[in-house]
Structure 1
Amino acid sequence: MPQKVKLADKLYDLFSQMIASGEWAAGSRIPAETDLAHLNRVSRPVVREALIRLRADGLIGPRGRTGNYVLVDGDERDAGYRPIENVADLIQVFEFRFSMECDIAALAAIRRDDSDMNEIRKAGLTLMGEASEDTFGDVDFRFHFAIAKASRNAMFVSTMSMLRRQIEFGMRLVGEFKQGKPANRVETVLEEHEAIIDAVSRKDADAAHAAMGEHIAMSRRRLLGFELPVEWQRSSHFVSNYNHYTENKDLGRHEA
C-alpha cells in the first residue's frame, strides 16, 4: 500500500529545501503564515504545522513579535539520515532506536525534574485526544522527543530530531497495517507510554530502560506482524552500573 504524504509534510520538505539551498538565508525573515498559505494554495493550519516542525528542528525561530527567522545557513543544517526505502531499512531504524532510546529513557529517569515530567505526561497522553491515522506518527514522536530532552543530553535530542522522518514514517505504517480498530491501537500504545512514564516518574532507570525497550519492540512487532530473533542483548545490570557510575563521579579515577 503506497504511503500517503500529508500536505504539511510536503510543505515542510519544501521549506527545508529553501533553507538548505539558501533561498531562505540565515537571519532572513520568512513570509507570514497567510502569505505562505496563499502562495502554496493550502490552509493556514497546514502552514502552521510545517512551521512548528521547522522550529522543533531548530531551523527557524521567532524574534519578538516580528515573525519567524531562519536560524541556520544551508551548509550548517544537519544532513539527517537517508529516507526509508524498504522493510530492511525500517528494521534497521527500530534496531537503532532500541539501542539508543532505552538508554535515553534510563538517563531521563535519573535526570528529569518536575517540569520534564509535566511535558512527558502531556506528550504521552496527547495520543488519546489528537491521534488519527494521519497524525499518529507526529503525536507519538512528541512523547519520545520529550523523553530525549529530559535526558539532558543535547546529542540525543539532535539525533532524535534527525530521525524524525524515519520514526514518523514507521509509526504511520504501523497505523496502516495494524489489524483491529484504531481505538484499540491507541489504547495499547497508551498503556506502553504509561509504563515508561511511571518508571521515569519513580526515577527507576532499570524499569524505564525495560519499558522503552518493550514499547519499541512491540511497535516493531505491530508493523512486521512477527518477532525478530534476538542476536544480542545487553546485560540487565548495565543500567544499574551506569547509574552507580554517574552518582559516584570519582569512580575509575586513580589516586596519585
Structure 2
Amino acid sequence: MRKDISSEAGQALRKATTRRTMDPAEIQLRREIRPAQQRRLGDEVYEALARLISAGELTSGSRLPAEGELCQLFAVSRPVVRTALARLRDEGLIEPRKGSGWYVLAHAGDGGSGQAQEQFVAILQALEFRRSVEPDAAYFAALRRTADDLDMMHKALKDFEETIEQTQAKAHVDFHFHMSIAKSARNTYYMNALEAIEYDIDLGQMLAHSLSMLGQSARRRAIFNEHEAIFTAIGNQDPAGAKAAMLQHIEHSQLRVIARGQELLRRTQAVQAD
C-alpha cells in the first residue's frame, strides 16, 4: 500500500522538535507540511475497468477475473477491489452471478464511441508528454549509468520478455523498465515525471493483455525488441543512440495506440448499429 510520506515527515518533525524551542524556519516548515493528496486506489481500479468496458475491450457478457486475480493484477487488497466492483455494479456496468462471478452487462458498452475516443486521446496525450521527456532521460542514462543500473534494467527487460507468450501479465513490467532508465539518469525530475503517469504507462497495456487478450505475442515481441535496443545503447554508453531508440519506441507506441483505437471505435460503432 502507498505511504503518506508527507504525513510521516510531519510526525517525525514534530517528535524531533517537541523537546526544544523551534526557530522561525522550523515553524514555517511545519506549516507547509500537509498530507499528500493521493488518488484512492479504489478509484484507479474502478476507472481502469470502466475504461475497458466503455472502449469495448471487455465485451458484453464477458466474465471478469476473480477477486483474487484482480488483487494480484492491481497489487491492491481485496476490500479495494470489492469497492471498485460495487461502484461498477451501482452504475449498471457489471452484475454478479451467484457462484460464477462478475459479468459485464449486455448494454454496458453500447454508448461508448465518444467515451472510447476520450480514453484514447488521454493515452495519446500521455505518450506525447513521454516523447518530450523520456528520450532525454535515456540520453543521460547512457552517460551516467553504473553496472548496478544495467543489472536493474536487464532484470526489468527479462521480466518483460517473460510476458510475451504468457496469458497472465506480470504486473508493471513496462513501467519498471522505463523507471529503471529514469533512475539511471540521476535526475529526480525524470523519476517524478514517470511516477505521475505510471497509470498511463503500464496499466492499460497490462489489462489489455490479461483481461481481453487483444494484445498478441507479435506485438509484445516488437515492444520488447524496442526496449532491448534502448538497453543496448545505454549499455554501450551511446547517448545519441539511446535517445534515438527511445524516441522510436514512443513513436511506435503512438502508432500502435492509434491503430488499436481505430479498431475498437469501429467495433463500438458496429454494436450501436445493430
Find the aligned partners of 1:169 and 1:47 in 2 and give their Cα distance: 9
**Which ranges of structure 2 fall in alignment gaps of 5 or more residues?**
13-66, 78-116, 261-274
CA contact 1:141–1:168 (8 Å) conserved in 2: yes
Q: Deviations over 1:153-201 (max 9, x none)?
A: 011112211211121244347648996x732122111111110011001
Number of the residue aligned with 1:231: none
Deviation at 1:97, TM superposition (A): 0.2
Does residue 158 of the first structure (1) align with residue 192 of the second (2)? yes
2:75 corresponds to: 49
CA root-mean-square deviation: 3.8
Residue identity opposite 2:75 in structure 1: E
Q: After superposition, what is the alpha-carbon deviation per residue over 1:198-241, rounded to whole angstroms, capped at 9, x for unaligned?
A: 10011111110010011111112111119xxxxxxxxxxxxxxx
Q: Map of 1:59-74 to 2, 5 A cutoff?
A: none
TM-score by length of 2: 0.50
Counterparts in 2 of 1:217 and 1:137: CA distance versus 1, 3 Å: farther
> Which amino acid in the other structure matches residue 137 of structure 2?
I
- 1:205 is aligned, of 234, 239, 242, to 239
1:124 aligned partner: 157
Q: How much does 1:86 deviate?
A: 2.3
1:94 paired residue among 124, 127, 132 = 127
Aligned residues: 164
Matched residue, 2:181: 147
In the TM superposition, what whole-angstrom CA distance separates every residue of 1:78-104 from its partner, at most 9, and x where no partner exists?
A: xxxxxx952222211111001100000
- Whether the 8 Å CA contact 2:120–2:257 is kept in 1: the answer is no
Paired-residue identity, %: 28
Conserved 8 A contact 1:174-1:219 = no
Equivalent residue letter for 1:214: Q
Give secondary structure in 2 for the equivalent of 1:221.
Answer: helix
> In structure 2, do the counterparts of structure 1 residues 195 and 178 end up closer, same or farther at CA, with 3 Å as the change threshold?
farther
User: Which 5+ residue runs of structure 1 have no aligned equivalent?
Assistant: 1-14, 28-40, 52-83, 227-256
Higher relative contact order (CA 8 A, sep 6+): 2
Structure in which a larger fraction of residues adopt helix:
2
TM-score of the aligned structures, taking structure 1 as reference length? 0.53
2:226 pairs with one of 166, 175, 192: 192
Quick one: distance in 2 between partners of 1:224 and 1:207?
26
